[in-house]
Amino acid sequence: MKIVITADFSQEGMERLKNAGHEVKYCCWGPTHHICDEDELIKVIQGSDVLIVGYEPITRKVLENTDLKIILSIRGGPRANIDVDYATSRGMPVMYTLGREAIPVADFTMGQIICLVRQIAKTDRELRRGKFTAPDKDYGSASDVIWDMSEEGPWESRKGIELTGKTLGLIGFGTVGQEVAKRAKAFSMTVIAFDPYQKDHAFITSKVQKVSKEDLFKMSDIVSVHARATDDNKGMIGQAEFSAMKRGSYFINNARASLVDEKAMRSAIDSGQLAGVALDVFHSEPVKENDPLMKMDNTILTPHIAGAGYEVVYRHSDMLIDDLFALLNGETPKAITNPETISDLNKFKDMGKGIYSDSKSDSQSSDLSSDFVEKISQEVIRQLKSHKIL
């Protein structure tokens, strides 16, 4: 089959496809970081059967003017840039990645928590601006601690809380929420979660208490949001939720800004109801330079990078290839947005005739096998060296 890849994709993944007998074209954002428009896409997709996409707009116009049979998205929410409804009407399965960024987002979340409760980012900014620093080169000692020890000095004024024994409340307990829970438990935290769509089995196996949204905000010292945004949950966290929290608690959002009432959150920060907030998502992105949040010292703001890990590209490449091979073998893929399109799996098995899969098992691909870890570790080291970090 002819496969066009416009997403960032691993070289190993492309070799898997080629070794299985597929013809691969790599173009648009993946190799160039240029997001192709509709007309450019139509041109590069012509004559192809499968599209692996990241951020290009897969609109009705694109689908009407190409002969695609299968679409695979590296993203966890393919509807963001794919007209899934029209693809469904044409019998075209749209597959996606489930939890490709769960590990980096979970790591990032714990970093935000520690930076908030210990005021690490705040004091770093203050020190660089000259607060707490020595007045001249002759002041200071190498033999003793002589930072200002008054009430206004760093030791007294920048104390933080310990995580041990504190309660972390997770809004959303999917792949990301579960990874965050693992890490929080390593810090001896109590973890509770609200997720009306998650099965009880996930809570039981993770040893996380399932609670109502109301109880979560009352019980938590720190609340972290990891829910998928829908039309139904827009603004689900507002004044009532922030008011129910313990005074001086912390709030983190690495999911979507639409889940939170922005005015209510700002009010909770201004009033001191929230001691600190960490945001990787904003109601308007990129965030404006003059946004009031930028002037608040008790906020940690980052430009939507929680999931930006070097290893992600290898993970989503293998996830999508595994699902594509499964479909062409007449098997149900793990993550598909419109399962009604594959009611006749034999149709896709027929498409795969003459094309062979590789021998890579699930445990050798999407999971963190030793070979996988070794492969991505070498690539990460190479990337760090190229950026002069090592």
Catalytic residues: 256, 285, 304
Secondary structure (3-state) at 125? helix
Cis link prior to 286 (omega < 30° from 0)?
yes
Region label for 174, one of left (φ > 0), alpha (ψ between -120 and 50) or beta (otherwise): beta
Tokens (6 digits) for 322: 């595994």
Q: What is the dihedral of CA 362, 363, 368, 370, to 10 degrees?
A: -130
Q: Are 320 and 70 in contact (CB under 8 A)?
A: no
N-to-C CA span, the chain: 41
Q: How far, in Å, CA of 245 to CA of 346, rounded? A: 54
H helix runs in the chain, sequence order:
11-19, 29-32, 38-45, 60-64, 84-89, 102-117, 120-128, 154-157, 175-186, 200-206, 213-219, 239-244, 262-271, 312-328, 345-351, 370-386
DSSP 311-345: THHHHHHHHHHHHHHHHHTT---S-BS-GGGGS-H
Q: How far, in Å, CA of 242 to CA of 251, rounded? A: 9
Q: Are 12 and 20 in contact (CB under 8 A)?
A: no
Phi/psi at 300 (5° precision): -115, 115
DSSP 154-172: HHHHT----STT-EEEEE-
